[in-house]
Amino acid sequence: MTDQEKALSKAPAVTLGFWAIKILATTLGETGGDTVTMTMNWGYLAGSALFVTVLVALVTWQILSKRFHPLLYWAAIVASTTAGTTMADFADRSLGIGYAGGTSLLLASVLIVLGLWYWSERTVSVDTVNTPKVEAFYWATITLSQTLGTALGDWMADDTGLGYVGGAAVFAVGLALLAAAYFWTKISRVLLFWAAFILTRPLGATVGDFLDKPHDHGGLALSRPIASLVIAALVLAGILLLPQKPGVHPGSSEQTA
């Protein structure tokens, strides 16, 4: 591997296109997870086992690869958000801890992993994702944040009484405030990234639920498999049409000079 390749992160550069694909991927995770657990009647435990297996395989492939591969990266993201959907539903519903309990437990888990990552590397920036250890922290944080987002979205839509549209609006406003903070304040960009990364998940979850849940639950009752196929096509189009470049590792100018 050349010095220039070592200077590149194996996570994509954070651009507007990145966020567009991320929101679509999280929506796909919700409709795709519901397709398997509800429409196909696998149940939450079997569905979680399936998607976690796929996730582990893709993340292992991602870590073993020598450079950033857009299709592989986004396939792993979709797997993480689909696994997050089924795992959160299993915890919230099958284990009976409720949306608030699941959200609290998962938020603590995300903070613990981020804390361990920072303790080990002195940073949690995605621009440093180019070693196996950092990648392990990165994907653990992503998977837990995707699971947290599902529980948080369900809590906002159901327990607060806002419904799917109201919940999506709350998360959209939250993301808009984070964008304003990015452009007009000096708040840590790393902190803003992870806050936005977490909030895009419940936004996608509530939009996905709005699309496929029955009318008496406040949804549009669209076919889950068809909705999933349409969203998957949009994700693929985004990957192929929008610029997909790896982020730059801090200090790369010195390494490549």
pLDDT tens, position by position, 84-118: 889 888 877 777 777 888 888 889 999 999 999 99
For 72, other C-beta atoms within 10 Å of its C-beta total 15
Asked, for residue 65, whether it belongs to a domain, the answer is yes
User: Which long-range CB contacts under 8 A does 211-217 form with residues at least 24 apart?
Assistant: 211/27, 211/31, 212/30, 212/31, 212/34, 213/164
Residue 120 lies in a domain: yes
Q: Provide the domain count of the chain.
A: 1
- Does residue 179 form part of some domain? yes
CA distances from 114 to 32, 136, 163 (A): 27, 11, 31
Residue 46 burial (10 A CB sphere; 0-12, 13-18, 19+): middle
Distance spanning both ends of the chain, measured CA to CA: 16
Q: Are residues 81 and 201 in contact, defined by beta-carbon separation less than 8 angstroms?
A: yes
75 within a domain of the structure (yes/no):
yes
Place of tokens 């990145």: 18
Let me know how long the chain is.
257
Q: Is residue 251 part of a domain?
A: no
Instruction: Give per-residue pLDDT as tens, 6-45.
Output: 457 888 999 999 999 999 999 999 899 989 998 999 998 8
- Residue 252 counted as domain residue: no
> What pTM was computed for the model?
0.89
What is each CA distance from 222 to 32, 44, 46, 151, 200, in whole angstroms?
13, 21, 24, 22, 22
**Domain residue limits at 239:** 7-243
Whether 195 is covered by a domain: the verdict is yes
Dump strand ranges (E) for the chain.
8-12, 246-248
Distance CA(156)–CA(76), nearest Å, equals 26
Question: How confident is the model at residue 63, as a pLDDT?
Answer: 93
Q: What is the pLDDT of residues 197-240, one digit of tens each?
A: 999 999 998 898 888 888 877 788 888 999 999 999 999 999 99
Encoded tokens for 65: 């690869």
With respect to residue 248, please indicate whether it lies within any of the assigned structural domains. no
- For position 249, what pLDDT does the model report? 52
Distance (Å, whole) CA 148 – CA 91: 11
Asked if residue 115 lies in contact with residue 63, where contact means CB atoms within 8 angstroms, the answer is no
